[in-house]
Amino acid sequence: MGIAHYIVIACGLAMDATAVCLGTAATGRITSRRAGFRLVFHFGLFQMLMPLVGWLLGRGLVGIFVQIDHWLAMGLLAFVGIRMIIAGASHHDEETPRGDPSKGWSLVALSVATSVDALAVGLGLAVLDIAIWLPCLLIGVITAAMSWGGLKLGGVLHARWGNRMEMAGGALLVLIGLNILVSHLRG
């Protein structure tokens, strides 16, 4: 495998994190550069570390993990997405503080959910006996860059449509989770 293959893999893996950043920023819940940085940094970090973890786990667990990774990702994304839909449906004003998805368990859940596929890629690279450092670095950097772009686009959407985007962002997370589940179940 060459660097072009790694870049294509990294772009594919980054799509979920990018969509989550877009949806989250569109809700208006990312209120500072610091919150945006936390999301981008953690998504890039988790995407970079998960292939390494998968690679270290090696061949023995490939079959087991591939059977549950899609359920884990779908469950985490659905949990966060449904919370966003409920918060968007409740009639709160601009003064009411809402949860910051770039902190605490929401950040952990989103980071894990968007990087589960990267762990599976690491397992695959171990099976193919491919060195892991360059793919990990490319996956992390590309995910962070694409996530930043998703945040920027989400901010534009929020500025245009306001808090109505919160329910749409939550629905987007649930749909991403369902897409992961369906694509894995179809094979």
97 confidence band (pLDDT: 50, 70, 90): very low
Domain boundaries defined on the chain: 3-186
What pLDDT is attached to residue 166?
Answer: 64
What pLDDT is attached to residue 174?
Answer: 79
Long-range CB contacts (within 8 A, 24+) of 28-32: 28/158, 28/162, 28/163, 28/165, 28/166, 29/84, 29/98, 29/99, 29/100, 29/101, 29/166, 30/100, 30/101, 30/102, 30/151, 30/154, 30/155, 31/100
Look over the chain and give the mean of its residue pLDDT values, rounded to a whole number. Answer: 79
Average pLDDT estimate for 13-20: 85
Average pLDDT estimate for 62-85: 67
Most confident range (mean pLDDT) of 43-52, 125-134, 157-166 is 43-52
- Token pair of 156 as six digits: 């534009």
- DSSP structure string for 113-169: HHHHHHHHHHHHHHHTT---HHHHHHHHHHHHHHHHHHHHHHHHHHHHHGGGHHHHH
What pLDDT is attached to residue 69?
Answer: 66
